[in-house]
Chains A and B, each alone.
Chain A
Amino acid sequence: MRRTHTARVVAAGLLTLSVAQSGFSQSAEEIIRRSENLLKGVSSKGKFRMTIVTPDYTRTMEMRSWWVGEEKALIEITAPRREAGNKTLKVNNELWMYLRNTETTIKIPPSMMLQSWNGSDFTNDDLVRESSLVDDYAMKILSDEVVETEPCWKIELLPKPTAPVVWGKIYHWVRKKDYLPSRTEYYDEKGALMRTLIYSNVKQFGSRRVPSKWLMLNNIKPGHTTEFEYLEAQFDIRLSDRIFSFQELEKGRNR
């Protein structure tokens, strides 16, 4: 009887301690994990617009996408008409492209993973990467910074020695208010800034509030940017596994 009481007191003490901890100084890992979970959801479905800007041209594409966690995804281009019907299927760490014009499915070979995805400043690797940042990077909170009037944690991520990643260093800013990402900077092994991802326009989509604009600045090729803008999004819905099959991939676009 007495022992249980002591145990309860100790447990209560521990609990308050851990609550205090999470309130004041939670680890960088916790912040990142929480932030990632906010964006991901179990599954999602949405429409978005991708605007690619280069010194030579600006073009806008519209797409539909279906995601299950980070493992499976299908993205279909709906506009412009020349590319409408082209699809990208991701299953685990493999990527296929269905090309409507030639009615073929191409598997993206590993050597092409760092190439641009559909002409954007995102790479095929960006789509394929399925592991959480927490798995591949060692991280620590560097400082508190204000990014566009929002107080943020600035977190430094360095790749773990065995992690199969392409970046030498990542800086990630997470908003203190709602744990949403605000900005990510990708550096190469030599420490040069390669690209910057800026999240903005937080909007309510169903049960979730997420940044609706994702702007990727290509720091190696000045003047090249890609912007994703969510037009519609639904989270945590039931998606049939059939969506992510080859049959579905090679079907026409009247789904």
Chain B
Amino acid sequence: MNLLLKLGWRNIWRNKRRSVLTILAITFATFFTVVMRGLGIGVWEYNVQNSVELFSGYLQIQRIGYQDNPSLSKNFPFPGDVEATIQSAQGIKGYATRILADGLISYRENSSGAALFGVEPEAERRVFRFQQRVNAGQFFEAGSKDEVVLGYKLLENLRARIGDTLVILAQGQDGVMGNLRFRISGTMKLGSPEFDAMAVFMDLGAAQELLAMEGRVNVVAISVADLHAVDRSVQRLNGALKHAKLDKLTVLSWEEVLPELKQAMEFDKIGDWFFLWTLIIIVTFGILNTVLMSVTERFREFGVSLAIGMQPKKLVALVFIETLFLALIGIIIGSLLGQLMNIYFETHPITFTGEFAKIYEDYGFLPQIVSASRITIVLTVAGFMVLVSFLSCLYPAYKVSKLEPLKGIRYT
């Protein structure tokens, strides 16, 4: 075996140009795949992380059935036992309670349907970023029960201005049509057209008053360290809720709260995989080509070896060893370069500006290309490349195993 390894290594360098070209091909394929996967995962995780940290949260506690059919009446008392349960769970970065309702908003002769959000500005600010999206005026302070922040489009539609007073009408959980006056303290631009034309943020206390929801909320939005902590936290919290006998409540992950985001991500992944497979097929044929050439070139030599008593299976092993050497060199260089590139783009994201950035923002994406330097990316790609190189020397190896000494010697 040792001899075979030595023989293989030497054989590679007998035709330097061919070997270097093969190595370069594998290096490039590995590098390219690692960078592609890095960017693919990086951009998505970044976008997902950004959108869940913007408003929805990594997890939400809701009444069972709320997600499929939300209504104000599916609420629960807070703090109650819920707060203690959340605080007892590990790995929770922060949380904020919310009330969600439909309403009617009216300024002078203009009125519009509205999505009402009762929030606690301070608790939200600690873990969620939507308050940074205020594009005019300011977000109201905690406890300010007579101020609201509207989507900027809603303000335009109502033909109102910041500082104006408007009226919000909504049906409370007791059925009574509540109506209160509010001053507009600012507007927000969140990037989603429906949100910007419908959203009305008010203090949780004000929402509880308007909707007869004293001491009750619809949703607790929860933040954890990052996407990878989600599944574990869902399990932990669900366990904690069960333990506290809060069996009407459930914990949902961002994937369940924002199914469209999850779907878009899956769809994009399919595209990525398609691209990856195309690349792999091309590389396979590239390697197959060089290995086959190098083997056919040496049929005479192989014939002679067989004639003087070399076992055919050793020759086959030799072919595999040579290819593996080439592949390993290529994979190592490619992975290293790829990983370096990923680390660079992870710490130095490319940010678009101007028109291009606007297109991205209109679709609700961040105009930024960022990578992920995950060792798992390198390992999976490297594994794939080894597999591919192995597959691509099956045929040359088969040819070698069928070689007869005399035919080999006379092969031209």
Contact = CB atoms under 8 A, between A and B. Distances in A.
A54 B106 contact: no
Interface string B237-253: 00000000000000000
A57 B176 CA distance: 11
A97 B113 CA distance: 14
B305 interface: no
**Interface of chain A, helix or strand or loop or mixed?**
loop
Interface string A30-62: 000000000000000000000010101101000
B175 A107 contact: no
Nearest to A86: B177
Interface residues of B, number: 21
B190 to A, nearest CB: 20
Contact of B104 (A59, A108, A119): A108
Contacts of B106: 104, 106-107
B169 interface: yes
Contact of A119 (B112, B175, B179): B175
A119 B177 contact: yes
B287 to A, nearest CB: 57
Interface in A131-145: none
B175 A101 contact: no
A82 B210 CA distance: 12
Contact of A104 (B112, B173, B177, B179): B179
Contacts of B174: 57, 59
B169 A99 contact: yes
Contacts of A57: 174-175
B76 to A, nearest CB: 14
Interface in A60-85: 80, 82-83
B169 A59 contact: no
A112 B179 contact: no
Contacts of B73: 54, 56
Q: Choose among B73, B169, B173, B181 the residue with the greatest number of A CB atoms under 10 Å from its CB.
A: B169
Contact of A107 (B111, B113, B171, B177): B111
Nearest to A104: B167
B35 to A, nearest CB: 48
Q: Choose among B104, B109, B173, B178 the residue with the greatest number of A CB atoms under 10 Å from its CB.
A: B104
B169 A97 contact: yes
Given A99-B179, A101-B179, A106 B171 contact: no
Given A107-B111, A109-B111, A111-B113, A54 B175 contact: yes
A112 to B, nearest CB: 5
A97 B111 CA distance: 11
Contacts of B111: 106-109, 112
Interface string B145-180: 000000000000000000000010101011111111
A109 B113 contact: yes
A116 interface: yes
Interface in B267-323: none
Contact of B176 (A54, A82, A116): A82
A119 B176 contact: yes
A106 B175 contact: no
A102 B183 CA distance: 13
Nearest to A97: B169
Contacts of A97: 169
A200 interface: no
Interface in A95-134: 97, 99, 101-102, 104, 106-109, 111-112, 115-116, 118-119
A86 B177 CA distance: 9
Nearest to A52: B175
Interface residues of A, number: 24
B159 to A, nearest CB: 13
A104 B176 CA distance: 17
B177 A118 contact: yes
A152 to B, nearest CB: 33
Contacts of B179: 99, 101-102, 104
B113 A119 contact: no
Contacts of A59: 174-176
A94 to B, nearest CB: 11
A115 B180 CA distance: 20
B171 A116 contact: yes
Contacts of A99: 167, 169, 177, 179
B171 A112 contact: no
A102 B104 contact: no
Contacts of B110: 107
B173 A56 contact: yes
A153 B377 CA distance: 73
A111 B112 CA distance: 8
A26 B195 CA distance: 54
Q: Choose among A80, A82, A104 the residue with the greatest number of B CB atoms under 10 Å from its CB.
A: A104
A99 B175 CA distance: 15
Contacts of B176: 59, 80, 82-83, 119
A102 B109 CA distance: 15
A119 B110 CA distance: 22
Contacts of A56: 73, 173, 175
A129 B126 CA distance: 49
Interface in B362-409: none
16 contacts: A56-B73, A56-B173, A57-B175, A86-B177, A97-B169, A99-B177, A104-B106, A104-B181, A106-B167, A106-B169, A107-B109, A108-B104, A108-B111, A109-B104, A112-B111, A112-B113
Interface of A: 52, 54, 56-57, 59, 80, 82-83, 86, 97, 99, 101-102, 104, 106-109, 111-112, 115-116, 118-119
Interface of B: 73, 102, 104, 106, 109-113, 167, 169, 171, 173-181
Given A104-B167, A106-B106, 6 more contacts: A54-B175, A86-B177, A102-B181, A106-B169, A107-B111, A111-B112
* Minimum-distance CB pairs A-B, first 4: A106-B106, A99-B179, A104-B167, A119-B175
